[in-house]
Amino acid sequence: MQQSFESLIDNYLPGQSVDCVIIGYASGELKILLLQWKATKRWSLPGGFILKDEDMDKAALRILKERTTLEFPFIHQFYTFGNYRRRDISNLNKELAAMNINSPKVNEWFRQRFISTGYLAMVNLDKAKPQPDELSIKCDWMPADKLPPLIYDHNDIVAKALEYIKMRVHFLPVGMTLLPEKFTMNELRLLYETILQRSLDRANFQRKMLKLGVLIRLEKHFAGNAHKAPYLYKFDKKMYNAFQKEGIGFV
Amino acid sequence: MQQSFESLIDNYLPGQSVDCVIIGYASGELKILLLQWKATKRWSLPGGFILKDEDMDKAALRILKERTTLEFPFIHQFYTFGNYRRRDISNLNKELAAMNINSPKVNEWFRQRFISTGYLAMVNLDKAKPQPDELSIKCDWMPADKLPPLIYDHNDIVAKALEYIKMRVHFLPVGMTLLPEKFTMNELRLLYETILQRSLDRANFQRKMLKLGVLIRLEKHFAGNAHKAPYLYKFDKKMYNAFQKEGIGFV
DNA sequence: TTCTTTTGTGTCAAATTAACACAATAAGAT
DNA sequence: ATCTTATTGTGTTAATTTGACACAAAAGAA
């Protein structure tokens, strides 16, 4: 590993990184995909570097794919973090030593100042299979509202991402990649409530969503419960995409 | 200049830049501050580089101050442009030659790939005094809706900035730095119409703005016209700031 | 059957929006 | 002084949206 990363360094743009906030959703909770580093046991966002001939967006997609083995139809760049002291590297030597890395080149690489751009991706937890990389001990989903302390400014990055998705949900449909293919109106509303951190009136939410025109009603879903069976819905991809492309759909 | 920039290069983060979209407002038009380069006569946004020990936000403020000799109470980072081929440097040699720059170091600097973060600032045109720098022939306000072709991807950067301010104006007060200290309700509404690119009902706009609570009504303004004199208003800075700090004031 | 729980839709007041109305008024014209 | 013109501040009213709650239908268990 040590060798391989050292040899890769020359392919990357120095000083630039991408950090991905991968949001998943399960059992009424937003989860964030985190890595735990072998050496330090500290948690961080999955991130990576940009190849010298690679668009930054493409780098984000590549990194996302590496971590989740999924393709993402939508990713959202939400902010770039450029504070001088955003990364605390005071323990870098120890950390690299603990990883058995003694290459001066690698040391120098991580010692640089990095400006990092945050990308948000959303994924259905059933589909995403976290893949810890060689430097990480674990790769796990953690509840967004009680994350452990993360390295550098990664807690700030997550906070910005959550703020960003909260903003989006106010005027754009959200859920395509967070929910399974078919879902009930209740599941969709619970997702919205989780994102917005407040409860929404069931009746009014349903009316509003149906009126928007991004949902297609499917067959009923008999869950075996002793009560009326809800309809299943799926997103009307054309409408959903149209909304996404409109960008911030004001005016 | 050539010498001085060459000597400055070592102080800057390589591959990183900041581009500023400085929006001004006058006579019912949004204007963008542009520079015209001596050598190529081509127009560009005012931009600059980030000092190695400088926060990126601070770099944006510094660059803005250099161009306008103003302090900005608010700047807004809106997007980071990281496409591999965003800068066309095919004529770089000619351009540098035309500027009498033959330093290989400077050549190499501009030949790098840059990832650039866009910052938006808004300024009252009466106050801002454009300062062409040594490499620029002109420094001028141009109407936002009919800009000349700009270098690199700067037209895209402006488009993103205009989209961003359009978004902001929907849920945050805008105008503090764009309008003079005192203004009429009509002037404020015209600004909003210019940003949103559509007309707004005069009566309803007035009611809504007053209800928001960010305006303080001042004395009447007798313009010497043969009709009823309008009130002047100023922003209630406390309220205005509160709105800004709430960030994207959703819930 | 009856009971429990959840769903889809209904209702209705309150708030907001959109469109237009109109008297008040500043200053020039008569 | 009075009339005229253009613009302003506020009023009105219908249409639409929002928020809160109501209620019958329905699925399965008791």
Shared domain check, A112 and A19: yes
Shared domain check, B225 and B123: no
Residue A250 in domain: no
Q: Are strands B183-184 and B136-143 parallel, antiparallel or unpaired?
A: unpaired
Residues in chain A with CB shorter than 8 Å from the CB of B60 are: none
Pick out the nucleotide with least CA–C1' distance to A207: C9
Structure tokens that stand for A53 in this block: 């001939």
Shared domain check, A142 and A91: yes
Instruction: Please judge whether B113 and A52 are an interchain contact, meaning their C-beta atoms are less than 8 angstroms apart.
Output: yes
Contacts of B214 (CB under 8 A, 6+ apart): B173, B235, B236, B239, B240, B243
**Is the CB of residue A9 less than 8 Å from the CB of residue A163?**
no
A203 strand D contact, CB < 7 Å: yes
- Quickly tell me which residue has 């392919």 as its tokens: A11
Shared domain check, B82 and B116: yes
The pLDDT of residue A3: 54
Shared domain check, A239 and A149: no
Shared domain check, B81 and B41: yes
Rg value, chain A, Cα: 20
Shared domain check, B238 and B147: no
Shared domain check, B15 and B136: yes
What gap in Å lies between CA A142 and CA A32, rounded to an integer? Answer: 5
B16: contact with A, CB 8 A cutoff: yes
Q: Protein footprint on strand C: which nucleotides are under 7 Å from a CB? A: 3-11, 17-21, 24-28
**CATH code at position B219:** 1.10.10.10
Question: What is the per-residue DSSP string for B69-116?
Answer: S---S-EEEEEEE--TT-S--TTHHHHHHHTT---HHHHHHHHS--EE
Shared domain check, A229 and A133: no
Shared domain check, A218 and A114: no
A111: contact with B, CB 8 A cutoff: no
Instruction: Please judge whether B55 and A82 are an interchain contact, meaning their C-beta atoms are less than 8 angstroms apart.
Output: yes
Helix (H, G, I), strand (E, B) or coil at A219: strand
Report percent pLDDT > 70 for chain B. Answer: 96
Shared domain check, B227 and B121: no
- Closest A-chain CA to B85: A55
Name the B residues in 123-142 with CB < 8 Å from any A CB: none
- Quickly tell me which residue has 């879903």 as its tokens: A221
- One digit per residue, the tens of pLDDT, for chain A of length 251 reads 445 789 999 999 999 999 999 999 987 899 999 999 888 889 999 999 999 999 999 999 999 998 888 888 899 999 999 999 999 999 899 988 988 889 999 999 999 999 999 999 999 887 777 777 777 778 899 999 999 999 999 999 999 999 999 988 888 889 999 999 999 999 999 999 999 999 999 999 999 999 999 999 999 888 888 889 999 999 999 999 988 876 544 43
What residues make up the domain containing A16? Answer: 2-168
Residues in chain B with CB shorter than 8 Å from the CB of A87 are: none
Question: pLDDT band for position B247 (50/70/90)?
Answer: low
Domain end call among A138, A168, A198: A168
**CATH code at position A34:** 3.90.79.10
A226-235, B93-102, B196-205, range with the lowest pLDDT: B93-102
